[in-house]
Chain A
Amino acid sequence: MSTATQSERVALTGNEAAATAMRQINPDVVAAYPITPQTEIVQMFSNFVADGDVHTEFVRVESEHSAMSAVIASAASGARSMTATSANGLALMWEMLYIAASYRMPIVMPVVNRALSGPINIHCDHSDSMGARDSGWIQLYSENAQEAYDNIIQAVRIGEHPDVRLPVMVCQDGFIISHAMDNLYVLPDEDVQAFIGEGGGQEHSLLDVDNPATFGPLDLQNWYFEHKRQQVEGMKNAHRVIPEVAREFADVSGRSYDFFEEYRTEDADVVVVVLGSTAGTAKDVVDAMRADGHKVGLVKIRVFRPLPADKLVESLLSRSAVAIMDRSDTFSSAGGPVYHAVRHALYDVDERPPVSNYIYGLGGRDIRPSQIRRVFEETLEVARTGQRSRSISYLGVRE
């Protein structure tokens, strides 16, 4: 693998972009287990290890539960630690996800979004990472390979910040991003190293025998609540740290990031909220509808945890109608997770716009521009009439 000395434009898949970011981060420990569609990331990374391109201790574990357990332990020892997973692999980590977050281990984990079985399906939806949205991890969502690459590098700094100290999932859509060739800019290796710094992000180290520390002691009625409250504070502090890291990253890369991207929303009456690769398709639809004279725009959420609730309200409150697109369901029979979050945030506003929910793309079902156009057209109708015909729709399912 050649090492870049200046920003290069390269053709990489999302998985290759993630593996490249990991090579440039050069973590101390990677423990990983293969699962489609993430497998390529750790497979390529293991090549970097074998070729001596990284100094990483690569641990070939027997399951994702072990992968997460291993990186929790290595992070506790002060080692910069990473893994990657998808779908049922993430589900198998479940128990340990909460432990990583509550022990405040700044692990960075690319998640290649895939439908959670069953019925068994290997294609994209967000049921895996959305299921883990309350596990205490920071969650960044990516529209394309460039964003996946940039988010992984920023995630190191966000998670390791002493006021945050939380693990970070960097999500990209399975196959749609992970296996599709994309044009992106890759930073020089030394710029990535300079940006992430020494790190490790731990106050105490399991391996510092001169200053022994106890990780994970019993934490009963008199302490657990205090530690959970601390964890919330780490998440709150991430509201400040994420833009700080993004500003520094923009200085290095020339690429800007925020909690969410507003696309042609300035004077928009109708805004659709989406995350992941569908944002790219939706931007084309916005352009086409703008050309037809419709005042429509898009909000693409990048940071779902912590939820930028106040900023979303600011962006959405003056709209005539809003639609939220969810690539997973909560099975609450009351809408998808993004809908719940955004609609909840809007409740504090007296003059809030009507908000409807479209659940789409489950199990890798294609989402077409014509379908997104339908979302905009129906939402424009809501804006005109102030009436929602229904609050939750299933877009692209055979009725």
Chain B
Amino acid sequence: MSPDNKEYGRSGRTPEPDATWREVPIGGVLPWGGNAAEYETGDWRSMRPVYDPEVCIQCRLCWVYCPDSAVEVNEDGEVTGINYYHCKGCGICSAECPRDGAMEMEPEKAEE
């Protein structure tokens, strides 16, 4: 998984960014659901959680507490990493993690 995966991004359903007032849906209604996933909230982050599967004991507390469903799990419910497209860097996962080094917060680097 790429660290900043953009696969949640524009689905092609939202109007083009240069759509006129005659073309955008009336009243701001989006005629589909579940589009919060398309909105990138990860670009607010100043700190990022870094996951280390070697240290993790799979207690899932980070997954339970993450307010943004940004802790990713596999089909068996095991933590696999962080979805940085949505992760806001609040640090709750790291604070709740019982294992030193399994979910550590690190400063975001300036964009290259």
Within 8 Å by CB of A212, from B26, B27, B32, lies B32
Q: How many interface residues does A have (CB within 8 Å)?
A: 24
Whether B26 lies near A230 (C-beta < 8 A) is yes
Contact B28 A219 (CB under 8 A): yes
In chain B, positions 9-30 with a C-beta closer than 8 Å to chain A are 17, 19-22, 24, 26-30
Chain A positions near chain B (C-beta within 8 angstroms):
102-105, 165, 203-204, 211-219, 222-223, 225-227, 229-230, 233
Task: Across the interface, name the chain B residue whose C-beta is closest to A232.
Answer: B21
Kindly list chain A residues whose C-beta atoms are within 8 Å of the C-beta of B32.
Answer: 212-214
In the assembled complex, the Cα of A393 lies from the Cα of B11 at a distance in Å of: 60
In the complex, number of A-B residue pairs with CB atoms less than 8 Å apart: 57
Q: Is B35 an interface residue (CB 8 A)?
A: yes
Q: Is the CB of B26 within 8 A of A213?
A: no
Q: Would A227 and B20 be within 8 Å (CB), given that A212-B33, A213-B32 are in contact? A: no
Q: Contact at A165–B26, with CB atoms within 8 Å?
A: yes
| Cβ-defined partner of B28 (8 Å) among A211, A223, A233 | A223
Q: Which of A104, A214, A226 contacts B30 (CB 8 A)?
A: A214
Mostly, the B contact residues are: loop
**B28-A217 in contact (CB<8A):** yes
Known: A226-B20, A227-B24, A229-B21. A212 touches B29 (CB 8 A): no
Question: If the complex has contacts A226-B21, A227-B21, A229-B21, are A203 and B28 also in contact, measured as CB distance less than 8 A?
Answer: no
Given contacts A165-B26, A203-B26, A230-B24, contact A222 B17 (CB under 8 A): yes
Cα–Cα, bound, A214→B33 (Å): 5
The residues of B that contact A216 with a CB separation of less than 8 Å are 28
Q: Are B33 and A230 in contact (CB under 8 A)?
A: no
- Name the CB-closest residue of B to A215: B29
12 A-B residue pairs with CB within 8 Å: A165-B27, A203-B29, A211-B31, A212-B32, A213-B31, A213-B32, A213-B33, A214-B33, A219-B28, A226-B20, A226-B24, A227-B28
Q: Does any Cβ of A come within 8 Å of B8's Cβ?
A: no
Q: In whole angstroms, what is the CA distance A105 to B33 when docked? A: 19
Do B27 and A230 have beta carbons less than 8 Å apart? yes
Contact A103 B27 (CB under 8 A): yes
Q: With a 10 A CB-CB cut-off, give which of B21, B27, B28 has the most chain A CB atoms.
A: B27
A222–B19 CA distance with the chains assembled, in angstroms:
9
Given contacts A214-B35, A217-B30, A217-B35, 7 further A-B contacts (CB under 8 A): A102-B28, A103-B27, A165-B26, A203-B26, A213-B29, A216-B28, A230-B21
